[in-house]
Structure 1
Amino acid sequence: MNRNDIIIAEFRENDGTVTTGGFGRHLVLLHHCGRSTGIERITPLFALRQDPDTWMIVATKAGAPEHPAWFHNLLAHPEVTIETPDDGTVAVRAEQVTDSERDLAWAKFVEVSPIFAQYQAKTERTIPVVALRRRT
């Protein structure tokens, strides 16, 4: 079992609370489709709830020089679902945010956990911020 599988299992067994890595209730499980393979994947991601219908996530890949695969999958297939600690499974549409909306969201991530600033310092790319907005 890899680390993501362990986190997913803990999320589901504890109603969205994950003590592994100190995530608490700041995770969502992103169900996305591989842009090339079409295979459904599940990725646990640190998320900040912006409002009742929006969760923000960041494509850090721990400061790697390239974006994570899930980010490219969202660009290709933005209509996805997430499992949340408080709302269960939610249908959302992913949208990369830019400019001031991105900067404000990024600042909140850094405020909650300084590790995000360390990830940005490790890479030359601007780490993308994605809004997951509830579909109606």
Structure 2
Amino acid sequence: MQKVSATRAFAKVAPHVVPVMDSAVHRLTGGRFLVSASLLPGVVLTATGARSGLPRRTPLACMPEDGGTLVLVGSNFGRPGHPAWSANLLAHPDAVISGRGRDLQVTANLLTGDDRAAAWKALVAFWPPYAVYASRVTREIRVFRLAPRE
């Protein structure tokens, strides 16, 4: 599946199919299941829209870390622009993630410098297609760490 997900055809089709499918299944199962989570761990991120101020729900792959944090990658399947959800987190870092039937309030932190470099190395080891996505774009792919809010 990693080879397929690294293709340009997948990058063209997946952004239109995977989130719709994940959102529907997530709703139908009461937040307990995401189809894409059979490949990678995933959550549904609910963040406040940067411009609209409205809640925006986005199913996303994530990389769990020790200590209960998660890392999100704004790869946008190797497409040129940053994904909208990443702009939402920059404007409003407090968000909610839903997975396995539970909601968790989190705060997102955009990683930079050495923190981003270390996370990126771990991300590429975790899911090698991220390196292919990065090779297709001139922008720096945004990487966020989500930590539970007290």
| Shorter-chain TM-score range | 0.7 to 0.9
Query: For the residues of structure 2 that align with 1:47 and 1:21, how far apart are their CA atoms?
Result: 9
Shift of 1:27: 0.3
Identity of aligned residues (%): 32
1:23 to 35, 39, 58: 39
Unaligned runs of 5+ in 2: 1-15
CA 1:10–1:52 in structure 2 vs 1: closer, same or farther (change >3 Å)? farther
Partner of 2:120: 106
Match of 2:132 in 1: 118
Which residues in structure 2 correspond to 1:1-136 (within 5 Å)?
3-11=18-26, 13=29, 15-18=32-35, 20=36, 22-24=38-40, 26-85=41-100, 88-136=102-150
CA RMSD of aligned residues (A): 2.2
**8 Å contact 1:97–1:128 — kept in the other structure?**
yes
For normalisation by structure 1, the TM-score amounts to 0.86
- Structure with greater proportional strand content: 1
Is contact 1:17–1:23 with CA below 8 Å preserved after alignment?
no
Unaligned runs of 5+ in 1: none
Q: Which has the higher helix share?
A: 2
TM-score by length of 2: 0.78
Task: Name the amino acid aligned to 2:91.
Answer: A
**1:101 alignment partner, SS class:** helix
Deviation per CA, 1:72-94: give whole Å up to 9, x if none.
Answer: 11111111100123x82100001
Aligned length: 133
Is contact 1:7–1:44 with CA below 8 Å preserved after alignment? Answer: yes
